[in-house]
Amino acid sequence: MPSISLLWGIFLSFTFTTSVKWSPIDVGADGRYGYKSLPLYWSEDSRLPFLARLDGKLVGFVLVTRSSESSGDGEAWDMAEFFVLRRYRHRGIGTEMAAKVWLRYPGRWQIRVMEKNVLARKFWESSITKFTGLSAHSSKFVADGVTWHRFSLDSRR
Ligand SMILES: CC(C)(COP(=O)(O)OP(=O)(O)OC[C@H]1O[C@@H](n2cnc3c(N)ncnc32)[C@H](O)[C@@H]1OP(=O)(O)O)[C@@H](O)C(=O)NCCC(=O)NCCS
């Protein structure tokens, strides 16, 4: 399991990117972006943190949860957060990260993407299609006034 301090480091890039683009959040009184549930990935069996490295360098991370309040499907794995550092994008790293996690935890999976994150939707369509060999479809839902797309797949081979 990666150390939490390593993940906090790369998380700064992630929270900065997402706060600018998708969900505005403020830094806390300590000047840092918070993510209250991050420590739970080291204490709860239903949460798994992964770091991705290329040639020994950190290039991304994945946070996985076992159940999701939004899906109502406690049996499915959920990609809670997924991130590739900007300078390492468009090289297939995200596709490889997703495939590795799906293979490591065979079963039903869901991925929720904000409708306005068009590039991420293209990414999931592409990576799911490459993994399953079938074209990927998403279903729309609205939560707290935000429109999301939910992709589902079964990673058992
Ligand atoms: C989405 C993200 C994980 C993609 O990572 P990546 O390593 O660049 O993805 P890949 O190189 O494996 O791309 C695979 C496919 O996704 C699609 N894709 C990825 N980025 C794209 C972009 N900017 N524009 C259009 N299509 C894109 C393409 O179909 C691509 O296949 P191709 O290279 O053969 O054309 C990365 O951009 C990221 O971390 N974004 C910010 C965080 C985020 O939005 N996370 C997802 C939240 S649900």
Residues 73-129 pLDDT 10s? 657 999 999 999 999 999 999 999 999 999 999 999 999 999 999 999 999 999 999
Nearest CA to ligand 1 atom 48: 113
Atom of ligand 1 nearest to the CA of 98: 12
Supply the pLDDT for residue 43.
92
In this prediction, residue 72 carries a pLDDT of 59
CATH number of the domain residue 97 falls in? 3.40.630.30
Between CA 63 and CA 37 the distance in angstroms is 11
**Atom 18 (ligand 1): residue with closest C-alpha?**
123
Q: Examine the pLDDT at 7 and tell me if it is beyond 90.
A: no
Q: Residue 17 CA to chain centroid, in angstroms?
A: 14
Residue 94: exposure state from Cβ atoms within 10 A (0-12, 13-18, ≥19): buried
How many A from CA of 111 to the centre of ligand 1? 14
The reported pLDDT for the residue numbered 112 is 94
Is the pLDDT score of 143 beyond 60?
yes
List alpha helices for 35-109, DSSP H: 93-104
Give the Å distance between the CA of 29 and the centre of ligand 1: 33
Q: Are 54 and 93 contacting, i.e. CB atoms less than 8 angstroms apart? A: yes
Q: Tell me, what's the pLDDT at 31?
A: 74
Average pLDDT, the chain: 88
Domain of 117 in residue numbering reads as 4-154
CA 135–ligand 1 middle distance (angstroms): 17
The phi, psi pair for 15, rounded to 5°, reads -65, -35
Residues near ligand 1 with C-beta < 6 Å? 17, 82-84, 89-95, 113, 117, 119-120, 122-123, 126-127
Q: What is the pLDDT of residue 152?
A: 94
- For the stretch 17-61, pLDDT in tens is 776 666 667 777 777 767 778 889 999 999 999 999 999 999 999
Query: Which atom of ligand 1 is found nearest the CA of 112?
Result: 48
Q: What's the pLDDT band for 151 if we cut at 50, 70, 90?
A: very high
User: Considering only CA atoms, which residue is closest to atom 30 of ligand 1?
Assistant: 123
Report how far residue 144's alpha carbon sits from residue 94's, in angstroms, rounded to the nearest whole number: 28
For a substitution probing ligand 1, which of 65, 123, 130, 151 has the most ligand atoms within 8 Å of its CB?
A: 123
Number of domains in the chain: 1
